[in-house]
Amino acid sequence: MAGKTLIACNIFEDEMNHVLGKHPELEVNVIWLRAGLHNDMNTLDAALKEKIAALEPGDPNVRLMIGYGCHPDLKTIAKDLGFPVLSTKNCLGAIVGEDRLAELERDKTMVITPEWIRKTWFADDGMRELLGWDDTDFRINFGRYDRILVLDLGLAPLSDEEILEAFSIIEVPIETESFDISHFEKFFIDFLA
């Protein structure tokens, strides 16, 4: 397989590094985008333009490892550049599949990964900085959910302290569920092909 260049949301960092570590034959150069940029379209637009500017439009080895639902014009941008984009709406669809995700999201459940908490909710450059949120904003925006379900692929599980800290801020019950990485591994390898 020829080397690929990915512009990827770093929400996938643990999963991609795990798969690439298992498959050294995959030659991949990753250009990371900061997780959570989909919360501010202007910031996401600027970051995408910056990363794309260094690439050759139509290069068959470039891929956009970003969910098409994270940016309203992402499919058009990808088509105009000739770069494939994920076939899933967001990172969670890539991790467990769109059908399984729809099942998990029933009954007012928000589904996330550990990195959503670490990289978008509570990171120094996360939602507090990006959107100017305080604890009240977290409660207002996540209060519509009855529970938060964290997908644990066994790579970097949340600690009890992280779960308690998140709960103390959002005040929505947080549960974890173990998942195998095999769906993401197949999805990722197919995406690189």
In this structure, are 113 and 159 located in the same domain?
yes
Q: Report, in angstroms and rounded to the nearest whole number, the Rg of the chain calculated over CA atoms.
A: 17
24-65 confidence digits (pLDDT tens):
999 999 999 998 888 888 889 899 989 998 898 889 999 999
Give 157 or 125, the one with higher predicted confidence. 157
58-117 confidence digits (pLDDT tens):
899 999 999 999 998 889 988 888 999 999 999 999 999 999 999 999 999 999 999 999
In this structure, are 71 and 122 located in the same domain?
no
| Domain interval for residue 74 | 4-91+182-192
Check: pTM over 0.85? Answer yes or no. Answer: yes
Q: How many domains does the chain have?
A: 2
* 68-72, 97-101, 122-126, 163-167: range with lowest mean pLDDT: 122-126
DSSP calls for 127-155: HHHHT---HHHHHHHHTT-SEEEEEE-SS
In this structure, are 21 and 52 located in the same domain?
yes
CA distance 100 to 87: 15
